[in-house]
Amino acid sequence: MEEFRRVNAAALHDWVARAMRATGVPAEDATTVADVLVAADLRGIDSHGVARLRRYVVGVQQGTMKAHPNIRALCDTPSTATLDADGALGFVVGRKAMEMAIEKAEKVGIGVVVVRNSNHYGIAGYYAMMALEHDMIGCSMTNARSRIVPTFGRRRWHGTNPIAVAVPAGRERPYVLDMATSVVPDGKIEVCNRLGKPLPVGWVINEKGEPNTDAADVVARQRTDQDGGTLPLGGEGELLGGHKGFGLGLLVDILCGVLSGAAWGPMIANNVPANLGHFFAAMRVDLFRPLDEFKAEMDRMIRRLKAEPTAPGHDRIYVAGEKEFEFAEQRRMAGIPLHQSVYQELRQIADELGVPFEL
Amino acid sequence: MEEFRRVNAAALHDWVARAMRATGVPAEDATTVADVLVAADLRGIDSHGVARLRRYVVGVQQGTMKAHPNIRALCDTPSTATLDADGALGFVVGRKAMEMAIEKAEKVGIGVVVVRNSNHYGIAGYYAMMALEHDMIGCSMTNARSRIVPTFGRRRWHGTNPIAVAVPAGRERPYVLDMATSVVPDGKIEVCNRLGKPLPVGWVINEKGEPNTDAADVVARQRTDQDGGTLPLGGEGELLGGHKGFGLGLLVDILCGVLSGAAWGPMIANNVPANLGHFFAAMRVDLFRPLDEFKAEMDRMIRRLKAEPTAPGHDRIYVAGEKEFEFAEQRRMAGIPLHQSVYQELRQIADELGVPFEL
């Protein structure tokens, strides 16, 4: 049996939307869930795609993720807003909040919207990229389940707390940064576990501060309250800048959690409701510099960077997001390779929900 | 002879301001230079303090940093502005731009000001922290001389491109992140060189991609166009997230350089005028959540984090900026320890400028 099975992206999208509708989620919102999950799979971020569908299906079935939330603004000014997601699917309130930020930016130059009482929203980059078609710089962050050990700490504190920023270019592809503020996102550990691969030294430490390279053990420990966890970007201690990664992760928790009134740090454990917080921002480019000038300069920078000499053993320098755009082009043509374990799980969800699965 | 000589912070500030006035800089601007430089020394960022005074004195004397620049707005809207610094001292235009960002935020919630045609502006954190007394979140970034080797690259591309963010708290000290997006800032390499210490492996690579731990050699090479340079946060390659540090550094170059119309990447070499670019942002907290609630929650988070169990061999977990606040308190009382080489250089500047030096 092949380890991976290629499925058509459009067909997968269609089925995911139908599956979410079958859980009771309104059609438009079900499509949003499919949009974000399949975008992750297309972009090669397999950990954040349909491999996680079950948690959303179960979330809606159990009511911890509401199919019909009452999303409302707690504060709303021309440039800012705070939304209470009322336990919505993160995707649904995420798209709405980013649309609001873009609308505000359209009118007053910059828009920032924060969200409380939300759930996991998939890839942060999806929301940041929504700004691109409006010729804006987009930004999105979210906090997440407690995973990361603070610099000089021993116990998991905040989550992988990603930062995503998208910047339009001209003829070149846009710049799209989408990074966990930890050495690795949870998803890469999940993928290693699924593939039975060991983790590299420098990703996760155990309760004694020693490297833990056993992916299955790491995933199992994440469900307990044992000490140890994933390291912040920059690694252990301060020598190589671990305090910077920890500082960035804490900043995401401040902007997503404290500013919005959501949970933060170890308050976000495996319990439900998650009360996650998100941050969304959009900023017009043309208020700083004529748009065509800006785009031409982005192109010049990207081209010049890509023409730089490479390190021994490497033949390309990548701009943030470039690999993901290439993945998406390739996978849109050749299909998305789903690991058999993911494929089988989708089949099972299809059976459970009674939504025909012919992928 | 003692290696360090303690000088009184207020006296040092007074002398730096007088020295800058002697170069022809107006009194108010000379005070700004002293403010930012002595703030760096107080906060323990010795690399960015008066140790660098000569470059500003020489800059003004040679006219590459103008004592009387014509700083003007190229674009100005209620929420945004782009300034042409006309070759001003970075400190001077930096303070002005951050004041503008704060004023805009006061009126419309968020203000962003970018600057082109500027020079080195000292510690990024100084400007971000200006937002604190207005109960705003402040942010500042700058690009800098070409130093960092891109992921999979061989040659220095962008600078250490720092990001600073300051967030007010209640009774606890504010959160103040001020980090180079490289493994280390230039300044830490300068300090190792001054003290004759080797560099740790993981900071700088040579043209073959091998570690270079010879601080004097690294500083000498920075003046040549030899390949190799400082690594981005996350280190070499992608395994431990080096592409994230590189991505963040490039983002700073986009926001400071491309958005403002300043130079970027390897265009910022040792040549003059530098045409550096900066980015400043301020955002009101009280438009998202009542201010007292926000501050109380910041305090709760900081207290809970600091009560967490520590790693073996460590007895404290630090919030970003905390060490610097403690340094400042301690140094304001006990004096700033200037390395003899720095002290001697200041004496020499004093002689050259005819500004009595009694520290």
| Shortest distance, CA B37 to any CA of chain A (angstroms) | 22
CB contact under 8 A, A251 and B165: yes
Identify which of B203, B240, B288 has the shortest CB distance to residue A82: B288
A254 found inside a domain: yes
CB contact under 8 A, B208 and A318: no
Q: Would you tell me which residues 190-209 of chain A have a C-beta closer than 8 angstroms to some C-beta of chain B?
A: 200, 202-203, 208-209
The domain that contains B197 carries what CATH number? 3.30.60.50
Q: Using H for helix, E for strand and C for coil, what is the string for chain B? A: CCCEEEECHHHHHHHHHHHHHHCCCCHHHHHHHHHHHHHHHHCCCHHHCHHHHHHHHHHHHHCCCECCCCCEEEEECCCEEEEECCCECHHHHHHHHHHHHHHHHHHHCEEEEEEEEECCCCCHHHHHHCCHHHCEEEEEEECCCCCECCCCECCCCCCCCCEEEEECCCCCCCEEEEECCECCCHHHHHHHHHHCCCCCCCCEECCCCCECCCHHHHHHHCCCCCCCEECECCCCCCCCCHHHHHHHHHHHHHHHHHCCCCCCHHHCCCCCCCCEEEEEEEEECCCCCCHHHHHHHHHHHHHHHHCCCECCCCCCCCCCCHHHHHHHHHHHHHCEEEEHHHHHHHHHHHHHHCCCCCC
Q: Which two tokens stand for residue B27?
A: 């009194």
Looking at the fold, whether A213 and A174 belong to one and the same domain comes out as no
B128 found inside a domain: yes
B25 found inside a domain: yes
Q: Say yes or no to pLDDT of B139 above 90.
A: yes
Residue B151 contacts residue B233 (beta carbons within 8 Å): no
pLDDT at A270: 66
CB contact under 8 A, B261 and A293: yes
pLDDT at A271: 64
pLDDT at A274: 87
Residue B205 contacts residue B229 (beta carbons within 8 Å): yes
Structure-token match 């987009």, residue found: A138
Instruction: Give B182's strand partners.
Output: B232
Question: Which stretches of chain A drop beneath a pLDDT of 70?
Answer: 1, 270-271
Looking at the fold, whether A218 and A258 belong to one and the same domain comes out as no
Looking at the fold, whether B168 and B84 belong to one and the same domain comes out as yes
Question: What radius of gyration do chain B's Cα atoms show?
Answer: 20
Domain that holds residue B84: 69-180+239-288
> What domain count does chain A have?
3
pLDDT at A1: 55
Looking at the fold, whether B113 and B132 belong to one and the same domain comes out as yes
Q: Would you tell me which residues 127-146 of chain B have a C-beta closer than 8 angstroms to some C-beta of chain A?
A: 137
Looking at the fold, whether B20 and B146 belong to one and the same domain comes out as no
A265 found inside a domain: yes
Q: Say yes or no to pLDDT of B339 above 80.
A: yes
B57 found inside a domain: yes
> pLDDT tens for residues B235-272?
999 999 999 999 999 999 999 999 999 999 999 976 67
Is the Cα dihedral B30, B36, B40, B43 positive or negative?
positive
> pLDDT tens for residues B276-335?
999 999 999 999 999 999 999 999 999 999 999 999 999 999 999 999 999 999 999 999
Looking at the fold, whether B154 and B76 belong to one and the same domain comes out as yes
| Shortest distance, CA B337 to any CA of chain A (angstroms) | 23
For β-strands B136-142 and B110-118, DSSP reports them as: unpaired
Q: Would you tell me which residues 291-350 of chain B have a C-beta closer than 8 angstroms to some C-beta of chain A?
A: 293-294, 297-298, 301, 304-305, 308-312, 314, 316-320
B297 found inside a domain: no
Question: What radius of gyration do chain A's Cα atoms show?
Answer: 20
d(CA B167, CA A273): 27
The domain that contains A16 carries what CATH number? 1.10.1530.10
* B290: phi then psi, degrees, rounded to nearest 5: -50, 135
| Arithmetic mean of pLDDT, B107-134 | 98
Looking at the fold, whether A222 and A101 belong to one and the same domain comes out as no
Would an 8 Å CB–CB cutoff place B24 in contact with chain A? no
d(CA A192, CA A142): 23
Total number of residues shown for chain B: 359
> pLDDT tens for residues B150-207?
999 999 999 999 999 999 999 999 999 999 999 999 888 988 998 899 999 999 999 8
Looking at the fold, whether B156 and B140 belong to one and the same domain comes out as yes
- B308 CB neighbours in chain A (<8 A) are 150, 153-155, 157
A107 found inside a domain: yes
Average pLDDT across chain B, whole number: 96
Looking at the fold, whether A254 and A173 belong to one and the same domain comes out as yes
A157 found inside a domain: yes
Supply the DSSP symbol for A149. Answer: P
pLDDT at B291: 98
Would an 8 Å CB–CB cutoff place A259 in contact with chain B? yes
CB contact under 8 A, B298 and A241: no
Q: Which two tokens stand for residue A348?
A: 């099972």
Identify which of A152, A283, A294 has the shortest CB distance to residue B112: A283
| Shortest distance, CA B189 to any CA of chain A (angstroms) | 13
Q: Say yes or no to pLDDT of B1 above 60.
A: no
Q: Which two tokens stand for residue B281?
A: 């942002």
The domain that contains B89 carries what CATH number? 3.30.1370.60
Instruction: Give which of B288, B292, B298, B305 to mutate to test A binding, by max A Cβ within 10 Å.
Output: B288
| Shortest distance, CA A98 to any CA of chain B (angstroms) | 16
- B248 CB neighbours in chain A (<8 A) are 177, 179
Looking at the fold, whether B31 and B166 belong to one and the same domain comes out as no
Q: Which residues contact B9 (CB under 8 A, 6 or more apart)?
A: B38, B41, B42, B331, B332, B335, B336
Verify cis geometry, omega within 30 degrees of 0, for the bond prior to B78: no
Would an 8 Å CB–CB cutoff place A104 in contact with chain B? no
Would an 8 Å CB–CB cutoff place A110 in contact with chain B? yes
Looking at the fold, whether A124 and A194 belong to one and the same domain comes out as no
CB contact under 8 A, B297 and A109: no
Residue B268 contacts residue B146 (beta carbons within 8 Å): yes
Would an 8 Å CB–CB cutoff place B267 in contact with chain A? no
Looking at the fold, whether B89 and B18 belong to one and the same domain comes out as no
